[in-house]
Amino acid sequence: MTRHDGRLAPLRVLGIGGSLRRPSQSETALRMALRGAEDEGAVTEIIAADNLRLPLYPSPDMAAHPNVMALLAAVRRADGLILASPAYHGTMSGALKNALDYLQYLADDDPPYLDGRAIGVLATGDGTQAVVQTVDALRSVVHALRAWPTPMGVAIHEAGRTLQDGAVADERVAASLRAMGAQVVEFAQARRALHALASTSPKTTGVSTGP
């Protein structure tokens, strides 16, 4: 998108947290991943905690709920997303899944759902097994929403050792989170360049089958 001064608008990355717990380990990790996106020049936004308090999908009058409207508006303006969840009994939290179910409202958008956007996913857990399952479950949702999971996903097991006092204590984990955030932006940059190229290239009339 080009601004009125001719410069490209910064890319926007939205982080959606999956925990209402305060403080939240998964939100700490999410903020580190968003920092990786910011390092690549993106503007970031986060929906977590109180903003995640949504009526259960579906509920009467849910479309008029301010948190639902805010969620959908933030998703629509995002060029890429990062999803974060605590592992709850082997998969993502109900709060995050409920929020993601609201993306059904994007079904008739053009393009529909999250088509054309990259999404990074991360999970935190007390144990060693459920975080990987949670990352896989999140990637399944990304596929269902027609988006592109980043090559990097981050599963943080025994999270209490790594995520302390709102900080990521292990620099290797922090680097993985930032790298995932950077991949979301790199994908959005590539898509933007592709669209710019397509809009300036002359249309071809056929496909050459010659040597």
Ligand X SMILES: Cc1cc2nc3c(=O)[nH]c(=O)nc-3n(C[C@H](O)[C@H](O)[C@H](O)COP(=O)(O)O)c2cc1C
Residues that bind ligand X (CB under 6 A): 19, 21, 24-27, 86-90, 124-127, 130, 159
Cα–Cα distance for residue pair 104/125, rounded to 1 Å: 28
Cβ 57 to ligand X, closest distance in Å? 20
Cβ 67 to ligand X, closest distance in Å? 19
The answer to whether the beta carbons of residues 65 and 211 sit under 8 Å apart is no
Cβ 8 to ligand X, closest distance in Å? 34
> CA angle at residue 112 from 107 to 115, to 5 degrees?
135
Nearer to ligand X, 44 or 162 (CB): 162
Alpha helices in 40-129 (DSSP H): 66-77, 94-101
The answer to whether the beta carbons of residues 47 and 84 sit under 8 Å apart is no
For residue 98, give the amino acid letter: N
Nearer to ligand X, 27 or 79 (CB): 27
Nearer to ligand X, 17 or 149 (CB): 17
Nearer to ligand X, 99 or 188 (CB): 99
